[in-house]
């Protein structure tokens, strides 16, 4: 059916975006079988590091005093500071309220005690199902670090499988802290040395291959600093070129790079202390050009890098831009970046991921992102209508399915 007015287009787009079941391509979530590694509930939602950083702007309390408090005490302080004493319209604050509202809780009451009672009345398994249903999520991709001793033991045990949670092999320690990773690999029986001999390269490849298979990982990934440069004479560069990319090509899986972190500009804030700085797009261009049969998923933290990344994706079919990461996950920037990508890449990108660290965040991050992306699509289809092009409802559904789900899976399976 062709759509003949902007209002027709708006209704069709909104329905398609609301109905589509999403694959969230990057999160920090875990299935219930991982126990306490899966964070959920209102106290965890309030203790998100974005809200901690906001709270500390309003207080002269020494950082160490805040960190000595219980999680409940910290949540109480954050709630009182950001939601009671001030209007909670930052994106992170609004997100808490969106999640509570979508769960059917009375945000007008501002009653943190009653919210806690709601979560206390549910098991983690019940709540996981509720969140996936409320957010209309088909699957999420985790962040799985074999150098984390707690997580490693989970993978080595008899885990209860949950098909909604897909694994991604995280390589931050291997790439950014090679001496530490080398010692750990030696303890696990891999014959590696810091000088990265040929034997060490083979053993790192064996480690990667074994863990990709153990996790059934859909990609390998790393968060990389703003000064990440390739080509470069460094341990990290050699491990990427001689170990990671050969295994990724052998397995036909992407290497996902999240580039642009400026670590611990304020270490007293702990996880909330990281910032952002502009990275060098030529690193991405080098890798895509030199390794045309490898697949790269890339997101960058600096707004200034987004145009460069989209232009690079026009040149390399082995490059998939994805999401508005971390400090870019704000409505005004999601809108701007999605419009720019649509104008340069058409439908051939992944507009968003949640980066959720708390299960509840799936609700608000996707509620907000669906609406923003839908508004962009309404404008783009209306632009087509004005040219005389017949905009069809079935084609809108097709495109929405691509953006929110199938672009990712088709890129995962593509052979270059």
Q: How much is the pLDDT for 305?
A: 98
Give me the number of domains the chain comprises: 1
pLDDT at residue 61 in the model: 96
Residue 2: predicted pLDDT? 79
The answer to whether 298 and 280 have CB atoms below 8 angstroms apart is no
CA distances from 192 to 178, 203, 238, 243, 289 (A): 11, 6, 14, 13, 30
What's the CATH number where 79 sits?
A: 3.20.20.140
Q: Which domain holds residue 339?
A: 2-413
**pLDDT (tens digit, 9 = 90+) per residue, 254-297?**
999 999 999 999 999 999 999 999 999 999 999 999 999 999 99
pLDDT of residue 3: 86
Q: Strand, helix or coil at 3?
A: strand
Residue ranges of the chain whose pLDDT lies below 70: none
Q: Tell me the C-alpha distance between 163 and 141, whole Å.
A: 10
Long-range CB contact pairs, 410-416, < 8 A, 24+: 411/254, 411/295, 411/297, 411/320, 412/218, 412/219, 412/253, 412/254, 413/252, 414/295, 415/252, 416/292, 416/293, 416/294, 416/295, 416/317, 416/318
Most distant CA pair in the chain: distance in Å?
A: 67
Q: Is the dihedral of CA 373, 376, 382, 384 positive or negative?
A: negative
How far apart are the C-alpha atoms of 279 and 377, rounded to whole Å? 29
pTM of structure: 0.97
What integer pLDDT is reported at residue 160 of this predicted model?
Answer: 72
First to last CA, the chain: 36
DSSP code per residue over 227-292: T--SS-SSHHHHHIIIIIHHHHHHHT--EEEEEEEETTSSGGGGGGG-EE----HHHHHHHHHH-T
Note the pLDDT of residue 240: 98
Give the tens place of pLDDT for each residue, 343-366: 999 999 999 999 999 999 999 999
Would you state the pLDDT for residue 246?
A: 98
| Cα 382–chain centre separation | 30
Neighbours of 216 (CB within 10 A): 9
């Amino acid at each position: 059916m062709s759509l003949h007015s902007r209002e027709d287009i708006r209704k069709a787009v909104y329905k398609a975006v609301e109905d589509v079941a999403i694959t969230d391509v990057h999160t920090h979530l875990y299935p219930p079988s991982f126990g306490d590694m899966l964070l959920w509930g209102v106290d965890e939602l309030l203790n998100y590091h974005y809200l901690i950083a906001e709270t500390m702007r309003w207080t002269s309390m020494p950082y160490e005093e805040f960190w000595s408090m219980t999680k409940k005490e910290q949540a109480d302080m954050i709630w009182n500071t950001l939601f009671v004493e001030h209007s909670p319209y930052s994106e992170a604050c609004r997100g808490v309220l969106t999640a509570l509202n979508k769960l059917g809780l009375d945000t007008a009451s501002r009653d943190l005690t009653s919210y806690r009672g709601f979560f206390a009345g549910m098991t983690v398994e019940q709540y996981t199902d509720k969140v996936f249903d409320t957010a209309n999520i088909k699957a999420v991709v985790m962040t799985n670090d074999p150098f984390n001793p707690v997580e490693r033991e989970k993978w080595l045990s008899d885990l209860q499988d949950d098909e909604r949670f897909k694994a991604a092999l995280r390589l931050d320690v291997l790439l950014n802290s090679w001496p530490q990773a080398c010692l750990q690999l030696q303890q696990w029986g891999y014959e590696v040395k810091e000088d990265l001999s040929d034997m060490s390269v083979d053993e790192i490849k064996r480690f990667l291959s074994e863990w990709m298979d153990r996790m059934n990982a859909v990609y390998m990934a790393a968060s990389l600093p703003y000064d990440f440069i390739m080509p470069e004479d460094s341990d990290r560069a050699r491990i990427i070129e001689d170990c990671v990319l050969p295994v990724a090509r052998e397995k036909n899986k992407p290497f996902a790079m999240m580039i642009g972190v400026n670590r611990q500009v304020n270490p007293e804030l702990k996880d909330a202390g990281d910032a952002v700085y502009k990275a060098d797009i030529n690193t991405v261009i080098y890798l895509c050009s030199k390794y045309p049969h490898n697949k790269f998923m890339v997101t960058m933290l600096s707004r200034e890098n987004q145009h460069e990344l989209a232009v690079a994706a026009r040149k390399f079919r082995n490059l998939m831009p994805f999401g508005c990461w971390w400090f870019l996950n704000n409505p005004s920037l999601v809108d701007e970046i999605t419009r720019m990508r649509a104008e340069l890449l058409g439908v051939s990108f992944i507009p968003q991921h949640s980066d959720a660290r708390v299960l509840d965040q799936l609700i608000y991050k996707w509620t907000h992102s669906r609406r923003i992306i839908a508004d962009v699509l309404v404008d783009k289809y209306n632009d087509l209508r004005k040219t005389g092009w017949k905009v069809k409802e079935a084609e809108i559904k097709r495109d929405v399915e691509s953006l929110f789900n199938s672009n990712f899976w088709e890129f995962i399976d593509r052979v270059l």
